Chains A and B, each alone.
Chain A
């Protein structure tokens, strides 16, 4: 794979709300590009990217999949993260692996709030973007509607690049505005037919093409002059202008089609190759900057194989049988299988095992991976999602992605004693795969608490826990760690006498309890004067108080924020 020129690689993530059709679109792209022999379907559970049991029965992706195809001599790595809001962490991490994105909008799913939230993150990264309107075969499909929606909800002005040919269930193909042709295709075969634009569609195509020309000309004074003089731009100027506009983020081309009908994929694949940036292009706009982990100095890398190796782990997969797989985006240099690398986020050396190229659930062993590539690494020990790996002689640590903190917590109780061990072992492994889960034992209530981003997130974690680690748990609302304190100062005597032959036991002390300000905890002091209580017995008094502190008088909650003084006794 190192033979591949760097210019002929694209790393693209697909972003959408749940149910807009990312997974179907990926499937259709793989089919159209000839990477899979049949067009799989979500309804039948035959897509390349959804293969975990949790995804099959939900008919929805729950984890990021990695796919790969080739189009016009260019390798395209496709990253397909789940769309559900509760699994946003997966999507946010996937953004670290790519140079561009395709925003998928389904006619039926519209633009939902989760998409608006992912979008705000993507915008901050300045990732170049293509839009794809899916489900064009539905009657309610409207390009103008999508354009208006994108403007209102996402603040972008998409530029239509293809138009439907036929409508509703009669949709046969798309009008490719750039190539000025009709492209039709069928679900049985990946080949497509290209025909001249029919007479009755020419006016519409002419108008739409004019809009593209104008959008390109507006960005460049020289092109604008030429456009105004000649009334047209050449095909080459148009393509170059679009590429620059897309990569600068000023133009967002809108493609359309139907993934499950294999319609509209050809113009989209062309656009990925022609307009989206290669890893080199991207690095020339957004430098690969990090810090030296020891000195804190700013250091940077170039996205070339000649620079020292560096990369970011954006996903971790733990399989009870295969072990641990870390998905890595190589940012600079070359990573060789079975070598030693340095984890600069943790400050430890790592011995990496085999390298794999990933296609859905299939893994193919490769000897090395160069800058820009995405690979899975076997058998790393301490490396977690988000860590930087680098050459041990040229250290760099890239900034960590900040993930949202969990918002929903449940107390979990193992169903049987046999499950106790499995539960905590399994959950710790799940957390390594998914850093947006949290698991802890509460010090006050002694409950095991599992926290996640929402109900679906917790349900999924427990489903995986059952399937992968065979542990069953019951969920409860977590107990609230109440505490007790006092309002006023009070004094009392404690007297203990036991004289049943031999040495008698006798203790007598006077205590004073006084409230302390909130958050001060507990203080103990001795104000005994004149040796009413021998000095060496004072620690015993304190111990007795501390023990009693654990169980308050109201409902047995720990007592806090009070000062206890022993002042007399005998």
Chain B
């Protein structure tokens, strides 16, 4: 019992000294859109901190594969619809975790602390 508590305390101390960073889930997104909308779709994915991995032409549609943070995709269905006049579709799946950029991490931590604080009351 004593060792358990000691280990917990030791871990917390070591953690703070080890430069902790925030990780966020990244999704692999596959977007299919008509060729004439491809520019706005790629532009939008970039604005969402996405990394375009691959673009491939299929008939009259283009298929874009990108790595995008999950946090940026919560309402993507609606956005893609309006960007492509309803012609685009997409599928996504979890890819991996990656570091959140520092300025953004500060904001997320801030928001989260307010939320946990509110929930505790």
Contact = CB atoms under 8 A, between A and B. Distances in A.
B17 A548 contact: no
A463 to B, nearest CB: 19
B121 to A, nearest CB: 16
B75 to A, nearest CB: 8
B108 A482 contact: yes
Interface stretch (B21-29, B38-46, B47-55): B21-29
A483 B72 CA distance: 16
Nearest to A408: B77
Interface string B58-81: 000000000000110011111001
Given A494-B13, A553-B15, A555-B22, A548 B108 contact: no
A285 to B, nearest CB: 25
Contact of A486 (B13, B20, B89, B105): B20
Given A114-B86, A486-B20, A513 B71 contact: no
Interface in A189-238: none
Interface in B73-99: 74-78, 81, 84-93, 96-99
A543 interface: yes
B97 A491 contact: no
A367 B15 CA distance: 71
A505 interface: yes
Contacts of B81: 454
Given A490-B18, A555-B112, A495 B9 contact: yes
Interface in A546-567: 547-549, 552-557, 559-562, 564, 566
A16 B98 CA distance: 43
B2 A543 contact: no
Interface residues of A, number: 71
Given A482-B22, A485-B23, A487-B21, A511 B96 contact: no
B15 A559 contact: yes
B6 A507 contact: yes
Nearest to B17: A490
A364 to B, nearest CB: 40
A478 B71 CA distance: 9
Contacts of A560: 23, 97
Interface string A503-517: 001111111110100
Nearest to B110: A555
Interface in A442-497: 453-455, 477-478, 480-497
A117 B11 CA distance: 54
B16 interface: yes
Contact of B8 (A409, A478, A545): A545
Interface residues of B, number: 54
A112 interface: yes
Contacts of B118: none
Given A480-B25, A544-B4, A544-B5, A519 B96 contact: yes
Contacts of A512: 14
Most chain A CB neighbours (cut-off 10 Å) among B3, B5, B9, B108: B3
A62 interface: no
B7 interface: yes
Q: Which of B21, B88, B91, B100 has the most CB of A within 10 A?
A: B21
A533 interface: yes
Contacts of A556: 112, 116
Contacts of A405: 91, 93
A545 B18 contact: no
B28 to A, nearest CB: 12
Contacts of B93: 405
Contacts of B92: 407
A321 interface: no
A493 B13 CA distance: 8
A566 B86 contact: no
Given A480-B25, A482-B23, A507-B6, A113 B14 contact: no
A557 B105 CA distance: 12
A453 to B, nearest CB: 8
B18 A488 contact: yes
Nearest to A537: B3
Contact of A484 (B6, B23, B96): B23
25 contacts: A85-B86, A112-B86, A113-B84, A116-B87, A408-B78, A454-B77, A492-B13, A495-B9, A496-B3, A496-B9, A507-B4, A509-B3, A509-B10, A511-B11, A513-B15, A518-B97, A547-B4, A548-B8, A548-B15, A554-B20, A554-B22, A556-B112, A561-B97, A566-B7, A569-B3
Given A518-B96, A555-B108, 12 more contacts: A113-B88, A480-B25, A490-B18, A492-B17, A509-B3, A541-B4, A548-B12, A553-B16, A554-B22, A560-B97, A561-B23, A564-B11
Interface of A: 85, 112-114, 116-117, 404-405, 407-409, 453-455, 477-478, 480-498, 505-513, 515, 518-519, 533, 537, 540-545, 547-549, 552-557, 559-562, 564, 566, 569
Q: Which 4 A-B pairs have the closest CB atoms?
A: A494-B10, A544-B7, A507-B2, A507-B6
